[in-house]
Structure 1
């Protein structure tokens, strides 16, 4: 229809009408593009809001996982320290010298003793890693939805949080897991398995006479402390992120 009208105006050499027709066409195209862009922008915002809602669900799941792993790590800390303490009198100091020649205070977990030697044997070798939920964050990264034009600070916080947590998980799966494997092997050399029933007299004598086993238990205590410390930090970060997302998504 518009093309027919323009053709008629050309034949009639009605230049004013031609200019008006072209202006209407250009304006219509421009408005159409703007409406399309606006619709796309609204769709992107809606998609981001849905993903942020799912991300909050993932972060709440992480909090539950963190609570469980910290609980297991605390049991491992106390079990391993109790075993080596009964055998040699050693326990982890609450301070250590830092790079500046001063003592740094350690925020040690509450010390509790296992109910039995069998419990101590089991929990000293009970190790688990933080299994972080990455489903929604991976979708955000893969789809390029992590820009959050209206929330640039949130995007940076998410990157820092997930990068730090993933780096820690890699540490857990290398150094921490390998130490636990060594500890299991050291007990196995004495014919002892993680689920065996044992009394304190037998366990104390075994550890007292095996310096390598003492060293592995001491390392287990230190690594369990580190795991508790860093996972508590990640847990605090997770809680802060949830509050940040919920406040900006209202």
Structure 2
């Protein structure tokens, strides 16, 4: 219809009408492109929002798993500290050298009761990890959406968080390798990894076997590193969750 009007105006040499019709055509093209761009941007933002919801669900699941690992780590450290103290080992938690992962406030450690004594060695031996969920993060990365998140702090926090997860898992694998190397010392005394053991038997081994005492000391040191790391990991997860909530609630 527009083309027919333009042709008629040209035939009549109505240059004003020709100009008006050309302006209408150009505006229509420009508006069409703009609407297409707006729709594309909205669709892209919808994808990012959906993926951030997935990341938020993953972080919430991570926090639940981290809390369990944090409690196990605090118990591991408390058990090692108790056994070394009772075995009259001189260096306590407060006086030990600062571990690479940072120090741990001794007041955070659970109180060891008589009912806990048979399981103390099992708690020392337990190195609990965190099976993190990465579904949302992988969607962001594989879909190329991570770079499109406008909030720079949120984008960098997501990257740091998942990089930190890989570092944390590598450290846990190192601690487990150390535990594996000590298995002959444990087996020498008839100690399995996660069974109950009489406290007097465990303390007697610590007092009379330098290798077993060294294992308990090493467990306390790696336990401090592990506990400091998981506490920092929990802080990172909660901070990231707050950033995502703020972004999605806008």
Question: TM-score normalised to the size of structure 2?
Answer: 0.82
26-35 or 83-92, larger mean C-alpha shift: 83-92
The answer to whether 1:44 aligns with 2:38 is no
Change (3 A) 1:47 1:196: closer
Question: Conserved in 1, the CA contact under 8 Å of 2:85 and 2:92?
Answer: no
The answer to whether 1:205 aligns with 2:204 is yes
1:112 aligns to what? 111
Partner deviation per Cα, 1:4-62 (whole Å, 9 max, x = no partner): 66667777777766655554433322221111110111112222222222222221111
223-232 or 190-199, larger mean C-alpha shift: 190-199
Provide the C-alpha distance between the structure 2 equivalents of 1:127 and 1:238, rounded to a whole number of angstroms.
Answer: 20
Q: Which runs of 5+ in 1 are unaligned?
A: 99-103
Provide the C-alpha distance between the structure 2 equivalents of 1:199 and 1:168, rounded to a whole number of angstroms.
Answer: 33
Q: CA deviation at 1:73?
A: 1.0
Provide the C-alpha distance between the structure 2 equivalents of 1:147 and 1:21, rounded to a whole number of angstroms.
Answer: 42
2:55 aligns to what? 55
Q: Secondary structure at the match of 1:208?
A: helix
Equivalenced residue count is 244
2:182 aligns to what? 183
1:82 aligns to what? 82
Structure number with the higher helix fraction is 2
The answer to whether 1:249 aligns with 2:248 is yes
Question: TM-score normalised to the size of structure 1?
Answer: 0.82
Please list, as runs of the form range in 1=range in 2, the aligned pairs for 1:11-22 lying within 5 A after superposition: 20-22=20-22
Change (3 A) 1:149 1:209: closer
Q: CA deviation at 1:121?
A: 2.2
Provide the C-alpha distance between the structure 2 equivalents of 1:96 and 1:116, rounded to a whole number of angstroms.
Answer: 24
Change (3 A) 1:19 1:205: same
